[in-house]
Structure 1
Amino acid sequence: MGGIMKKHVIFAAVALAISPAHAAQVFSGNGIGSPGATIDPFDASTRGTLLAYSETSGGAFTFSTKFRSAVYRNTDGHLDFYYQVERTGAGPSGNNAIQKFTGADFGAFDTFAFRDDSDFDGPGGFLAAGNPGTFTSLASRSFDGNVLGVNFGSNNLVGTENSTTYIFRTNAFAFKAGTFGVIDGSTVEGPSFAPTVPEPATWAMMLGGFSLLGVVARRRRARTNVAYV
């Protein structure tokens, strides 16, 4: 019991460190019978290191799409989850605008919503924002906290437009397989990424890493990002 309590106390303590200044947290129930959470411009200097990338193409009754997702370990050592929707054409039964996407399973992790309009990964899969007009998207979250989403508002995707890249910053240190959904009345679903709690052995390694970072900070040595792929 003491070990479990200690783990949760440590987790809560490091969670406080991820709260970005002036960023809106996405709380359970946001966007369900109430306004969604605002989505702030992303500070590229905090991006960190790419850990995993996924791209899925699919079709529904009223649209076809390509969905990109990725996981980055940001410069604070926590995980950011990246999502982008590209509309690639009509479906066999219609030609509707894409209204929303969702991602799961985020559980009880603290989450902040950001957007990056740039082509930040160059030759990588993500694209610069490709749907003109005033940005109106808002973030949503299910009452149990598991499902995060973005409602595009008047940024609905038509033709072959693609969204900006949406970034959910979390207080997670580890990730697992997750799922996404792209919605306009019909739905495309597929595999993505989601945060998870590290195994006990990983917690021990992380605690050792925190101690080492303390020594590094005291000696004013440069910090290095390490990719676990």
Structure 2
Amino acid sequence: MKNAFLAAGVAALGFVVAPSAQAATFPVGSPNFTATPGPNGTFAGAFFNTGIAAGAFTDTFTFTLPADGFGSGTVTTSANFLGSANDLDFTSVLINGVEAELFTAGGGVFESAYANLIPIVAGQLNTITVTGVSRGNGAYGGQASFVPSAIPEPATWAMMLLGFAMVGAAARYRKRSTNVRYA
């Protein structure tokens, strides 16, 4: 019993002494997150973080867009040697909570994540969240693109449905009022 209390105390001390995870938030327009509007409502963006200290980290990039649509993007990192100070491992990359696919190459020296056609909602705070572990001076960079959807907005749907109802009512009224009589 005494050993169980000792083990619990050591575990609790480990949580107190363990370094806390680093967290940073970068809104669009900050030096770490830029976006450029393009033709037909498209946007292209670039985001990054450098000099990430040793330990776990979570970076969140936030943005809002004027139209509903779809976003796609990639995030990459590379190191000189596996386990070197500039080595960084992705734990996850999420776009609005949707997990990007992670890939490693070179035995873990090169890592990338990508996602395609993630729904983006107009006027809502959208996020790209990158989590991972840095060995002491990690860095990564990413790019994102946005294309507005061709789906009509709710007001457009309402007008279209009202128009169909009016056409249907007019057709029905005409059908009722037409009487053919034979002599």
TM-score interval, smaller chain: 0.3 to 0.5
* Rg (Cα) greater in structure: 2
Q: Identify, as 1 or 2, the structure richer in helix.
A: 2
TM-score, scaled relative to structure 1: 0.30
Q: Identify, as 1 or 2, the structure richer in strand.
A: 2
- Asked which structure has the greater RCO (Cα within 8 Å, sep 6+), the reply is 2
